[in-house]
Chain A
Amino acid sequence: MGAGTVIVGTGQAGFQTAASLRSEGYEEPITLIGEEPHIPYQRPPLTKGFPLGQQSFESIQLRPERFYRDHRIDLLAAKRVTAIDRAERKVQLESGARLSYEKLVLAVGARNRKLAVKGAELDGVLYLRSLEEAIAVKEGLQSAQEIVVIGGGFIGLEIAAVARTLGKSVTVLEALPRLMSRVVAPIISDFFRELHASRGVKIICDATISEISGSHGKVQRVVLRDGTAFPADLVMVGVGITPNVELARDAGLGVANGVAVNEYLETDDENIFAIGDCAEHPCIFAGARVRLESVQNAADQAQRVATTIAGRRSCYRALPWFWTDQFDIKLQMAGISQGHDQIVTRGNAASRKLSVFYFKQDRLVAVDSINRPLDHMIGRKLIAGGVPLTPEQATDESVDLRALEHTVTQKRSEPTSH
């Protein structure tokens, strides 16, 4: 038996690589190494059901402990990989131990981007990515009354909804003119701004933080450049993440906005793959190299790498999709909307049933849906299949998108007459 596969990172991507390798029939050793002291768990509930007390740690574990034994996955928790020796095909652990690999998968994820303002180090200024951080936020929310959330992206807004649901006074400070502006159309931003406002969350856009201040080392307020001050006994920062590229870079592998991989998710070294939040890959749906931060991206890339390692090398071309839960509203997103040049809507915000269809050079590239789940699911099929759809059809509710998708797909699968 060879050295097998070593997977660095125990998030969704690392876990799924190990699980998929076994379901693909891979028989060699699998070692899954992670810095966190826990068995792999889901991150999405950390900003949703977990701080609300609706989900326990046990309920968010990706698999129970026995899964790893049953599938001969050697799980090394609380271990840090410090270097890759590509010539020897070994990884070095902090303890000094060296582990051989035949194939190495870097699923090393990302870390929170830190707020670079005065006072950011005060007690009560929290970030949220790991379980430890989620526990701190959950505990902090028990005693805190006035919460300031810095960052109006998915993480910030999800935690704002949680804090408000727990009865706290909540203010969200967003640097840009609208919420989630990096990913959604203005009509969706407006919808969520109104949703939060209707539940009593105060939203301030175009907000530039001047400093965080406090006394005796404990946070007391967040001050904007225009002098406005917001009292706070807990500040939640959600201003994005930075990919963990150092291990790859130190090993001489190409790095851009993430560890650079090709369409097979291989780095410059054909025995080393990079997947999930840490990796930048050529995405056919974006028409560009992208680094995506999502469960779908982590799980689908893991599955693809597992298939390749198991002996069936193939390109990664899964359609990206995302979701966010805020209060009782789920926003479902299919495709990559960046670079779109036309937007049409289906349904409307007043009915709280709304989809936005994004087009780029007359081609459907993304669909965002609120309470229109079928638009989302059919949208995935339309985009992934490259099914021709006009903006007029997209916005016309008398057009049955499912039937349209079905007709085109059926026609394609029929044999041609010559």
Chain B
Amino acid sequence: MPKVIYVSAKGDAREVDVPVGTTVMAAALKNGIDGIVAECGGVCMCSTCHVFVDENFFDRLPPAQDTEEAVLEIAAEERQPTSRLSCQIKVTDDLDGLIVRLPERQR
């Protein structure tokens, strides 16, 4: 099963096994990763599952759709070049070892 590594704003890393097809957001909630709020439940209406994707993985992700791009405009912590919404990232075998960093705040 692919692994995803969540790095908190303080720098603490946690490695989680994520079934293929599960989103990075859903896996965070299921595994008790604080720092992902997911207020809208994963429908691209809020920005509270914002993550910074590690550069080595960023280009392997399918590009963000317009809706996600728009939501990143309102992120509580300003977007960076590798910002994504974790509700839009589905884990695949190719993403094994994916590292995402969590912003300091989501609201």
Which residues of chain B are within 8 angstroms of A295 by Cβ–Cβ distance? Answer: 39-41, 45
Which residues of chain A are within 8 angstroms of B40 by Cβ–Cβ distance? Answer: 44, 295, 323
Which residues of chain A are within 8 angstroms of B32 by Cβ–Cβ distance? Answer: 64, 66-67, 70
- From B39, B45, B73, A332 is in contact (CB under 8 Å) with B45
Which residues of chain A are within 8 angstroms of B69 by Cβ–Cβ distance? Answer: 373-374
Is A244 an interface position by the 8 A CB rule? no
Our count of residue pairs bridging A and B at CB distance below 8 angstroms stands at 54
Which residues of chain A are within 8 angstroms of B13 by Cβ–Cβ distance? Answer: none
Is A368 an interface position by the 8 A CB rule? no
- In the complex, per-residue mask of A327-339: 1 if CB is within 8 Å of any chain B CB, else 0: 0001010000000
One of A156-164, A249-257, A376-384, A392-400 contacting the partner: A376-384
Is B66 an interface position by the 8 A CB rule? yes
- In the complex, per-residue mask of A345-389: 1 if CB is within 8 Å of any chain B CB, else 0: 000000000000000000000000000011011101100000000
Which residues of chain B are within 8 angstroms of A376 by Cβ–Cβ distance? Answer: 70
Check A325/B43 contact, CB under 8 A, given A63-B29, A373-B67.
Answer: yes
Which residues from 118 to 145 on chain A have a C-beta closer than 8 Å to any C-beta of chain B?
none
Q: Is the CB of B45 within 8 A of A380?
A: no
Which residues of chain A are within 8 angstroms of B71 by Cβ–Cβ distance? Answer: 373, 377
What is the minimal beta-carbon distance from B27 to any residue of chain A, in angstroms?
11
Which residues from 26 to 71 on chain A have a C-beta closer than 8 Å to any C-beta of chain B?
42, 44-45, 59-60, 63-64, 66-67, 70
Nearest-neighbor residue (CB-CB) of A318 within chain B? B107
Known interface pairs A16-B39, A325-B43, A332-B45; 15 further A-B residue pairs with C-beta atoms within 8 A, sorted by A's residue number: A45-B41, A63-B29, A64-B32, A67-B32, A295-B40, A296-B39, A321-B45, A323-B43, A330-B43, A330-B67, A373-B67, A373-B69, A373-B71, A374-B73, A378-B73
Nearest-neighbor residue (CB-CB) of A64 within chain B? B30
A372 CA to B20 CA, complexed, in Å: 31
Nearest-neighbor residue (CB-CB) of B107 within chain A? A303
Is B59 an interface position by the 8 A CB rule? no
Task: Report which B residues bind A (CB closer than 8 A).
Answer: 26, 29-30, 32, 34, 39-41, 43-46, 66-67, 69-71, 73-74, 107
Contact sample, A vs B, 17 pairs, CB 8 Å cutoff: A16-B39, A44-B40, A45-B41, A63-B29, A66-B32, A295-B39, A295-B41, A296-B39, A296-B46, A299-B39, A321-B45, A323-B43, A374-B70, A377-B70, A378-B73, A381-B73, A402-B73
Q: Is the CB of A59 within 8 A of B26?
A: yes
Task: Report which A residues bind B (CB closer than 8 A).
Answer: 16, 23, 42, 44-45, 59-60, 63-64, 66-67, 70, 295-296, 299, 303, 321, 323, 325, 330, 332, 373-374, 376-378, 380-381, 402
Which residues of chain A are within 8 angstroms of B107 by Cβ–Cβ distance? Answer: 303
The SS class assigned to the B binding surface is loop
- From B30, B43, B66, A44 is in contact (CB under 8 Å) with B43
Q: Is the CB of B29 within 8 A of A374?
A: no
A402 CA to B44 CA, complexed, in Å: 19
What is the minimal beta-carbon distance from B15 to any residue of chain A, in angstroms?
18
A299 CA to B34 CA, complexed, in Å: 16
What is the minimal beta-carbon distance from A278 to any residue of chain B, in angstroms?
19
What is the minimal beta-carbon distance from B75 to any residue of chain A, in angstroms?
10
What is the minimal beta-carbon distance from B88 to any residue of chain A, in angstroms?
13
A323 CA to B107 CA, complexed, in Å: 19
Which residues of chain A are within 8 angstroms of B66 by Cβ–Cβ distance? Answer: 373-374
What is the minimal beta-carbon distance from B50 to any residue of chain A, in angstroms?
13
Query: Closest 3 interchain pairs by CB?
Result: A373-B70, A373-B67, A377-B70
Nearest-neighbor residue (CB-CB) of B66 within chain A? A373
Considering residues B26, B43, B66, which has the most beta carbons from chain A within 10 angstroms of its beta carbon?
A: B43
Which residues of chain B are within 8 angstroms of A374 by Cβ–Cβ distance? Answer: 66, 69-70, 73
- From A16, A60, A64, A70, B41 is in contact (CB under 8 Å) with A60
A376 CA to B41 CA, complexed, in Å: 18
Which residues of chain B are within 8 angstroms of A63 by Cβ–Cβ distance? Answer: 29
A325 CA to B46 CA, complexed, in Å: 15
Which residues of chain A are within 8 angstroms of B43 by Cβ–Cβ distance? Answer: 44, 323, 325, 330
A16 CA to B38 CA, complexed, in Å: 11
Nearest-neighbor residue (CB-CB) of A322 within chain B? B45
Q: Is the CB of B45 within 8 A of A64?
A: no
Q: Is the CB of B45 within 8 A of A323?
A: yes
Which residues of chain A are within 8 angstroms of B30 by Cβ–Cβ distance? Answer: 64
A378 CA to B74 CA, complexed, in Å: 8
A45 CA to B44 CA, complexed, in Å: 14
Which residues of chain B are within 8 angstroms of A377 by Cβ–Cβ distance? Answer: 70-71, 73-74
A299 CA to B30 CA, complexed, in Å: 20
Nearest-neighbor residue (CB-CB) of A303 within chain B? B107
A67 CA to B66 CA, complexed, in Å: 33
What is the minimal beta-carbon distance from B72 to any residue of chain A, in angstroms?
9
Which residues of chain B are within 8 angstroms of A332 by Cβ–Cβ distance? Answer: 45
